[in-house]
Every structure is written in structure tokens, then in C-alpha cells.
Amino acid sequence: MECGCYLKNLSDRVFFILLFFLLFMSSSEYTPCFYCSEYSKIAQDYPVNFATKDVDSFTPRCFLHWEYECSKCGKDIHFNGISWCPTCKKFTCLSCANEQMHQERFLTYDYYYSIPCQECGNFNPALDYAEYNGTHPYQIGDLQPDEEIVIWMPIYKNQLKSQEFPHKAWGVERILALGRRVRFTRLDALGEYSPKKTWDANAPVWEPLFRDGGDYHHKYKILPEVFRLLDIHENETILDVACGEGNVARALTKQGGQVTGIDFSKLLDFAIERENEEKLGIQYLKLNAEKLTERFAKESFDKVVCNMALMDIENYETTIEQIAHILKEDGIFVFSITHPAFAWPTCTSFRVPGDSQRNEDKLRVVVDYFDERPTLVHYWDNPGLYFPRTISSYLNELIKNNLVIMEVCEPKASEELVKKFPREAYKDDDIFPDFLIVKAMKKSKL
């Protein structure tokens, strides 16, 4: 009995599905086809065939979901990049014709390609959609597979399970599912969330981290560069925007600056409490970074710093515009942010296996650099709210407000840091920048 043929009735289909299930249960060497396995989660009647191709890989495949030879160029092409013309009985691949993309959700996908036949020019769907549509050459009997496989017929398409996109079988989602990573939720609207609400909720978590100068990243990578770029001189007036619990403000005061710190979250309460104890002369004000001109006059400060906060400010354009307004001529503005290209949520890191403590098992994947929607980061008990942006978004806003870029820094872990903090730095901070620091000077309008 050949199971590679077209199955004409439901009883034959049930028999072969049962046969394959029994073979699976009795064989310790059974390897299911990756695509069959994923499709079976959507179509309950989908048969899971043995994988005979790439069996030792991450995506073992059966003969049906393997490669097909293009009738024009002779190359073997993945089944989702080649079409079959039932009229001319020929395969045409994406490299031999100009495809069209069609937005339609099917199985684990939300689009498919149609490819014009090399002879007649008629467009035919690539084989992944052809199988879903019942027009695959094995389904219609134009060709017979060379290996024993059960061919699915989409007679129950109205019973397919609903699903979310992007589907977890997709490239990025599939890779990230292998290990442990931070979870993100993109928001089309803020709804119940707001920057102040999320920062107030996380204030008790953040304050202890900076009580003694900050965590590893701040203490050894971010702040040394921020202080170098600011280059504080005695009695310079400095505004610390979104100062949090006052870690930077205290350090700048000890360097000789006359510091004012503003913040609108509960973190400022910790800063005021610390100032009441140490009496360094720092003035703290509860103020939204988007409303600086309500409190400060034009050209009030020699320097402005915004450390690791601009990516958390919703209306960053307004904040930069107002910083330029209150900054003196030739005044300096320095800000540090998570790196727009290599940090959450644009780029995420994950470990494979998830419990590994070695950094060679830590990988990074760019999810979507151009997605600037507000994003919840589920890292703590209460989610953090991020506003991801491109590098050009920040730099162009500086240019628009006559803030001339003087220096851009992407801190890299030194050899000394690698030796002192190998788990944090080796094959991590020494090969990827987590942060971006920019120094700009206010100039008159031309």
C-alpha cells in the first residue's frame, strides 16, 4: 500500500493518520517534520509526517516541505519560494520571476507570494499557500512524491483554529522561544498606563539600586562618560532633568556645580530625603520634564543633563525644545539613553538554554527598530513604560533646536572591566553597546 498517493476518502485519511501515529509511538527514531508539527496546531486534521531532510537541524522537514527544482534555473528552492503552473506543468522560483505579495492570513502566515510562470506568465501561488488552497501538485495529482508521506487536503478549512500574529513559528518568535528573555507588550495607546504611574510603582525597586552610586552599568560605563562630557567647572549652574533619586545631582554638586534637580515621580521623595540628611545645597523641584519653561526663565543654566531618562519621556520633542530654551548660549546638553538599536525593546537578548550563566549562550535579536509605539517591559513586578525611537529621531530633534552635536559615545567595556566583572562584560558589553550618550552645544539661529 502506498501512502504517497492522493487519499480519496476520509476513511483512508483516518487510517493513515492512525498508522503514522502508531509508528511514532513505536519508533524511538521518529523525528516529526517541523512544518507539519506547526501546521497541525492550526489544522487539527493535519498529518505529521516523518522528517527525512535536515533531521539533525532545528527545522527537520519531510519530503513535502523540502525543496523543489525550478524548471528554469535548475536550483533547488524552499517550498515557500517556488510555484507550480498546472497548465505548463513547470516550477518557477522567486529568482526567475518578479513575485507579487498578497496579504492573507493562512496557517502560521499572514501573506503569500504569487509567481508568474516562466512560460505562460500566469501567476500561481507559492507552494506553501498552494497546499493550503488545495492546488499543490501533489494534491491535484500532477506529481507524485518520491517518499511516503500523507498529503493533507484542506476540506475542513472552516474549522482552523484562530491564532495571533506574529505567529510563534515565525523566525524571530521561533528563535526567541528557545530561551529566556524579557517580555514586551507594544501599545497602540497608553490607556491606563502613564510614565508617572509606572515610575511611581517602580520607585521602591529603583531607589536602592542607586543609593550608593548606581548599578554596574551606571557606575562603570554610563556615568564616567556623562561626567567626562559635562566637564563641570566650579559654580556652573546645572539642571538635572528627570533626576530620580538624585544620584547624578549629588555627584555633580560634589564636583562643584550648583545643581537643580527636577522629577515628577515618587523617586524625587527619596532625593529630597537624602538632601535633608546631607545638606549638599541641591534644589529639588517636583516638575514634569515637558514643562520646564513654566518654572525656568530663558537661558537659566550653563549645562543640562538628562541621564537615562529621555527614552522614558513621552513628549521628548517638547522636552528637548524646552531644554534648548532654558540653556545659555554655548551651553552644554548631555543625555544618555538605552541604545536605540541594541537595547530593549528594539533589540532583545535571550539565553539558550534559558538557565545558562555563560555569555556565549547569550544572543541578541533585533525585533523592530522602526516601531516607535510605547512599550511595556515586563521585567519587574510592575511593568516599565518605554518610548523607543530611532537614533535619527533624537539627533534630528537636536538639530531642529540649534543644539550642535559635539560628541557621541557608545560605551564599551574595557579590558579592565572584563577582568573585574567577567559575567557582566565578557562577550556582552565588550561586543555590543547597550547605551548611547550625546553631547550637544546650544548655538544661535543662523
Give phi and psi for 7, each to the nearest 5: -90, 115
301: CB partners within 8 A, 6+ apart: 237, 238, 239, 260, 326, 327, 328, 331
151 and 49 housed in the same domain: yes
Mean residue pLDDT across the chain: 91
Distance CA 71, CA 124 (A): 14
CA distances from 93 to 97, 116, 352 (A): 7, 9, 35
Distance CA 252, CA 246 (A): 10
177 is a domain residue: no
Contact 427, 360 (CB under 8 A): yes
247-261 residue pLDDT tens: 999 999 999 999 999
pLDDT for res 242? 98
In sequence order, the β-bridge partners of residue 384 are: 377
27 and 104 housed in the same domain: yes
CA distances from 147 to 5, 48, 75, 151 (A): 10, 14, 20, 11
98 and 235 housed in the same domain: no
Percent of the chain at pLDDT > 90 equals 79
Distance CA 24, CA 47 (A): 12
151 is a domain residue: yes
Between the two ends of the chain, the Cα-to-Cα distance in Å is 85
Is pLDDT at 390 greater than 90 in this prediction? yes
159-211 residue pLDDT tens: 899 888 888 888 888 888 878 888 889 999 999 999 999 999 999 998 998 88
178 is a domain residue: no
Using DSSP's 3-state secondary structure scheme, residue 410 falls into: coil
CA 215 distance to own-chain centroid = 24
DSSP at 412? -
And the C-alpha cell for 107? 496557517
CA distances from 437 to 158, 194, 407, 434 (A): 54, 25, 8, 10
261 is a domain residue: yes
119 and 235 housed in the same domain: no
Contact 261, 282 (CB under 8 A): yes
110 and 243 housed in the same domain: no
Is pLDDT at 28 greater than 50 in this prediction? no
Which residues form the domain of 200? Answer: 185-442
142 and 226 housed in the same domain: no
30-58 residue pLDDT tens: 899 999 999 999 998 999 999 999 999 98
274 and 422 housed in the same domain: yes
429: CB partners within 8 A, 6+ apart: 221, 411, 412, 413, 417
DSSP at 337? E
35 is a domain residue: yes
Is pLDDT at 367 greater than 70 in this prediction? yes
158 and 202 housed in the same domain: no
DSSP at 161? P
136 and 192 housed in the same domain: no
DSSP at 443? -
327 is a domain residue: yes
- 10 Å CB burial of residue 153 (0-12, 13-18, 19+) is middle
Mean pLDDT computed over 279-286:
98
Mean pLDDT computed over 410-414:
97
Distance CA 6, CA 139 (A): 6
Distance CA 106, CA 103 (A): 10
Is pLDDT at 234 greater than 90 in this prediction? yes
Total structural domains in the chain?
A: 2
pLDDT for res 337? 98
Peptide bond between residue 224 and the one before it cis (omega within 30 degrees of 0): no
* Sheet with 123-125: strands ordered across: 100-106, 109-116, 123-125
Contact 53, 96 (CB under 8 A): no
pLDDT for res 299? 97
171 is a domain residue: no
CATH number at 243 reads 3.40.50.150
90 and 197 housed in the same domain: no
Contact 350, 363 (CB under 8 A): yes
132 and 231 housed in the same domain: no
Percent of the chain at pLDDT > 70 equals 93
435-446 residue pLDDT tens: 999 999 999 875
190: CB partners within 8 A, 6+ apart: 314, 374, 385
124 is a domain residue: yes
Q: Which of 118, 147, 162 is the last residue of a domain?
A: 162
Largest CA distance in the chain: 92
pLDDT for res 319? 98
86 and 201 housed in the same domain: no
